[in-house]
Amino acid sequence: MQGIVIKSTGSWYIVRTDDGLYTKCRIRGKFRMEGIKSTNPVAVGDVVDYELEPQKDTGVIVKIHPRKNYIIRRSVNLSKQTHIIAANINQAFLLITVANPPIHTSFIDRFIATAEAYSIPVILLFNKVDALDEVQLLQMEDLKLVYEAIGYECIEVSAVNGKNVDVVKELMQDQVSLFSGHSGVGKSTLINLIEPTLNLKTKEVSIQSGQGQHTTTFAEMFELSFGGFIIDTPGIKGFGVVDFEKQEVGDYFPEIFHFKQYCKFNNCLHLEEPGCAVLEAVESDDIAFSRYRSYVQMLENDENYRGISEF
């Protein structure tokens, strides 16, 4: 039998067939042994083949079909290398909050660079805009200018007053959409507004720390009543990139990719090389300094990065 993994708890997986049959499955043991460098050899969104176990209502996953794409990050589990957030998605929505909790631009840049590497379109959702003061609104506008200038769609949303929720729903129709962001950015609240029947658990941001608290424990895919699927993911604090060669990091920054053709040297890393068009573009503000800083951090493979805002 064949189906799509809609939920992963680490040891068990829920697989959904095209005719709406749901089966609780485990993975065949050898998947854990044969060169798996990920903490989760099977990810939400994977197309798998499975066999029903005799005398049971559970199944065993025997094959994982090739993925067309996936979102991956460095695992917090030191014994492994990577964690696949989700696979086979059409688009990713990254929720951003200027405050409550604040977000660091490096987190945004690492996420969208990873998406660029696997040709996954990203839409930036600026959430909780109803709660921003004048200074925070200016910060949001500055961020939007940076990302709109390089081609990313930015949408202001609010789960409190429903601002632009209809716009997001239209983009999601008949697509497989990933929702991601820091803990506490309001993913579950917004998803509940988009699809009220889901009734996902929500939790307030910690007053003491100003940081979000986890409400989604495992990634899970839900069918949408208006067509398509949404993948809700656990909130994440940092986003460590993996599998990037230094020479290709700049290719996942559209503005750096544009200017690098004018560099004096073909192998320019845009650090201190003479005749570097990218450095000149940073100096002239044609490339935002925050974006260039993120590029350099990724080159240096800064594993201590935690994604905390500088606002």
At 101-115, the pLDDT tens digits run 888 899 899 899 989
DSSP state of 155: E
Q: What is the pLDDT of residue 83?
A: 75
pLDDT band at 55 (very low <50, low <70, confident <90, very high): confident
- Give me the pLDDT at residue 209, please: 35
Beta 2-8 vs 47-52: how paired, if at all?
antiparallel
Alpha carbon 150 to chain centroid, angstroms:
18
As a whole number, mean pLDDT of residues 281-295 equals: 97
| Residue the block writes with tokens 């650090």 | 271
- Show Cβ contacts of residue 103 under 8 Å, excluding neighbours closer than 6 positions: 96, 97, 181, 182, 185, 307, 309
Split at pLDDT 50, 70, 90, the class of 183 is confident
Q: Which residues pair with 14 in a beta bridge?
A: 7, 24
What pLDDT score was predicted for residue 201?
A: 67
- The least confident of 89-98, 157-166, 203-212 is 203-212
State the CB neighbour count (10 A cutoff) for residue 257. 15
HSE, side-chain direction, 13 A CA sphere, residue 67: 21
What's the rounded mean pLDDT across residues 26-51? 76
pLDDT the model gives residue 217: 52
**Which of 139, 151, 65 has its CA nearest to residue 105?**
139
Domain boundaries, the chain: 2-66, 71-79+83-232, 246-300
Residue 206 pLDDT exceeds 50: no
The answer, yes or no, to whether residue 53 has pLDDT greater than 80, is yes
Within the chain, how many helices (H) and strands (E) appear?
8, 13
Task: Please give the pLDDT value at position 131.
Answer: 92
d(CA 247, CA 244): 8
* Domain at 71-79+83-232: CATH code: 3.40.50.300
Q: What's the CATH number for 2-66?
A: 2.40.50.140
CATH number of 246-300: 1.10.40.50
The predicted pLDDT at position 273 comes to 95
Q: What confidence tens digit (pLDDT) does each residue in 124-179 have?
A: 999 999 999 999 999 999 999 999 999 999 999 998 899 999 999 999 999 999 99
